[in-house]
Amino acid sequence: MSVPTIAPSPRPAHRPSDSQRVFAERTLGTVRRRRIVNSIMLSLLLIAAVAATLPLLFILFHLMRLGITSLTPAFFTNMPRPVGEAGGGMANAIVGTLILIGTASAIGLPIGVGAGLYLAERRGARLANIVRYLADVLNGLPSIVMGIFAWQFLVRPVGHFSALAGAVALGAMMIPMLTRTTEEMVRLVPVALREAALALGYAKWRTSLTIVVRTAAPGIVTGALVAMARIAGETAPLLFTVLGNQFWSVSLGEPIAALPLQIFEYAKSPYEEWHALAWAGALVLISLILVIGVAARFATRERFGAHGD
């Protein structure tokens, strides 16, 4: 005889209370509002990022539109020619710019990196605080003021303009930027790395030079590129120190040609052919800065990319 089974009675559905429904509706409204605000802020940040790159893109487009037609092989190999003669180039100005940047970097890089390393290692010392404050003041000094002081102390005593005076002025402009950048990059190095080197018997100076600087090298290289990019286009200090030269000269003791000076002279002239050469010179100058930056970034990535990955 089979025993009849009794089906279980269904459990009554749980109905949320009024307070739970209100809480759920508020939570859903809060989530929706946060998503809307998040979308708006991300859109604004995207617009700001695009707007930050627009000036550079506009400058590149404008320079290419007006100066690309003058970028012939003669522009890089010929000397400037008088008004009315066809052709002409800025070979002496291109070489002079490279000489000035290289000499200024040789002067400013060691001093700036050394000063920044000192500020990072002795951050609480009184002398370090004074040097940091003076570096900030010097970093905000207008380039025209730097040019006047360079003329007063580097040109007037010797009685003539020279490429070395211009390189010293540009190198002095690099120092405060490199000092502050190096200090900030060195401060990012973990303290445990220093302690490990000291525990292995390294002297403090050797730890700073071989361990700390090596670790912070990518940031220091980036700061050096920013400093080089700043001085590459400076004109005011060169007007007071280098003066310019229409002839071929690579001597540090004599006036030398430079792209900023040549662009300035050609741009203010009333001749259309010189205006075209000025646009071409500006395009070469900004391209030179971009090439140096990309090459240095590539070299830095090859050297330190394994640690970043």
CATH homologous superfamily of 70-308 equals MetI-like (1.10.3720.10)
Specify the pLDDT at position 33: 85
Going by pLDDT thresholds of 50, 70 and 90, the confidence category of residue 219 is: confident
Q: Extract the tokens encoding 276.
A: 């075209």
CB count within 10 Å of CB 86 equals: 7
Query: What's the confidence (pLDDT) of residue 171?
Result: 93
Residue 84 Rama label (left phi>0; alpha psi -120 to 50; beta): left
How do the domains of the chain map onto residue ranges? 70-308
CB burial of 119-137 (b: ≥16 within 10 Å; e: otherwise) equals bbbeeeeeebeebbeebee
For residue 14, name the pLDDT band (cuts at 50, 70, 90): low
Q: Give pLDDT tens digits for 233-280.
A: 889 999 999 988 888 888 999 999 999 999 998 998 888 888 889 999
pLDDT top residue among 7 and 144: 144
pTM: 0.79
The count of C-alpha atoms lying within 13 angstroms of the C-alpha of 278, restricted to the half-sphere facing its C-beta, is 16
- At 55-91, the pLDDT tens digits run 888 988 998 888 888 888 889 989 988 877 777 889 9
d(CA 240, CA 185): 34
Name the residue type at position 234: E
